[in-house]
Amino acid sequence: MRKDIPLMIVLGLLAAPRAVLHDLGLVHEGTGLNALLVFVPLLIWVVTAVTRSPSPVRLLLGAGAVYGICLAVIHNALWNGEASVAEPLARAGMTLSSLVTGLAVGAICGGVAWLLTRRRPDPAASRKSTP
């Protein structure tokens, strides 16, 4: 588990640039660049989890948690909402939704990676069956 922590951090950070670019208005939903920034990091997450981790769900839940923290920090730092009495409540909601989003993305990617590892033949089983 501990050796996966640096990998969780790297994977979580890999997905964060899209949030920065989107919040700054440099990337817009529905564009090809946005699609690349959304899906390429998640594809890297799944491929990495399938090829490098004995526990892909745990790895990607951790990456999702890091991603959620990044989303919360980015959205709060770049938020251009007008200051009002409700601002702390809006920021709290934004933070909570960012964390939930990160964990949900990690869980979904972890589930996909887990399903892919289930389809892979077990190399230990093939060694046992050969005389």
Q: What is the pLDDT of residues 4-37, one digit of tens each?
A: 999 999 999 999 999 999 999 999 999 999 999 9
Q: How far is CA 69 from CA 19, 57, 102, 131, in A?
A: 12, 18, 8, 51
Where does 1-131 show beta strands of DSSP type E?
none
What is the distance of C-alpha 14 from the center of its chain?
A: 8
Please give the residue that has the higher pLDDT: either 101 or 130.
101
CA dihedral sign of residues 54, 56, 58, 60: positive
Task: Give exposure, 103-115, as e/b (b: 16+ Cβ within 10 Å).
Answer: bebbeebbebbbe
Rounded to two decimals, the pTM is 0.86
pLDDT at 125: 56
Q: What is the pLDDT of residues 58-84, one digit of tens each?
A: 999 999 999 999 999 999 999 876 667
